[in-house]
Amino acid sequence: MLDERSTRGEDTRERIKQAARRLFADRGLDAVSIRDITREAGQKNAGSVNYYFRSKEALIAELITDIAAILEVGRNRRVDAMEAAGGPRNMGEVLDILIDLSDEAADGVPADGRRFIDRVIASHSEMLFEAIHIDLDTATRRCIAHLRRMMPALPDIIVAQRIRLAMLQAFAFIASRSAALASPALWPEGWTAELARRTLIDGLEGLLRAPLSDETRRHL
């Protein structure tokens, strides 16, 4: 009896997650209420979301970590291949893995999962930093370790800031890509997604490698 109740609970929990991910992907995080999620999941009890996830924010965090875990499998595979081939040979090779927007990179992610992540990045990128657990971002950490090794000798605080700024720039690009897919006119003519991605990678390498200016040194 207990196992049956547990199974029903897991089924309900999964239905709530699927309904929430679908709604967030379609409408955005702020436009969806707990009541909306409850209704979409076919739950009569308005407290179901809070019962299973404590809060809307905790539900969003779990959805993020679910997708992050899938994405990290592919990233780790690419990092393994890069290292087995004697790489990375340059920063661009590492950044290419971190900012991979191909369908192959999203293999295994639910159909609405990428749109959900795009919504998170566009409006609540801080949730990505807060929600991704250490065990779920091993490939990202491996990439960042390679980037740190290839950066010039800089104060630790500058290294940390540049890595963080690079990640935020990548998030902004991914969010703009999502908007461009919905409204192509938002991007100027000739701005193909891959050209923009390569330009971003070049720019991020410049950000990470740039020498420290005298003005910045005065603020240390």
Same domain, yes or no, for 173 and 189?
yes
pLDDT at site 169: 86
Whether the predicted pLDDT of 157 surpasses 90: yes
Whether the predicted pLDDT of 2 surpasses 70: no
Same domain, yes or no, for 102 and 205?
yes
Same domain, yes or no, for 129 and 26?
no
Whether the predicted pLDDT of 27 surpasses 70: yes
Same domain, yes or no, for 179 and 212?
yes
Same domain, yes or no, for 98 and 205?
yes
Using CA atoms, how far apart are residues 136 and 20, in angstroms rounded to an integer? 21
Whether the predicted pLDDT of 14 surpasses 80: yes
Q: What is the pTM of this model?
A: 0.77
Task: Judge contact between 24 and 62, C-beta under 8 A.
Answer: no
Whether the predicted pLDDT of 108 surpasses 50: yes
Domain that holds residue 5: 1-54
Q: Which of residues 32, 54, 76 is at a domain's end?
A: 54
The secondary structure of 24-77 as a DSSP string is HHHH-STT--HHHHHHHTT-S-TTHHHHHHSSHHHHHHHHHHHHHHHHHHHHHH
| DSSP-based three-state secondary structure for 131 | helix
Average pLDDT over residues 187-202: 84
Whether the predicted pLDDT of 149 surpasses 80: yes
Instruction: Write the CATH number for 1.
Output: 1.10.10.60
What's the chain's Rg over C-alpha atoms? 20
Tally of domains in the chain: 2
Whether the predicted pLDDT of 204 surpasses 80: yes
154: how many CB neighbours lie within 10 A of its CB?
18
pLDDT tens profile 48-68: 888 999 899 999 999 998 888
Q: Is 42 left (phi over 0), alpha (psi -120 to 50) or beta?
A: left
Q: How far is CA 144 from CA 8, 81, 88, in A?
A: 41, 16, 12
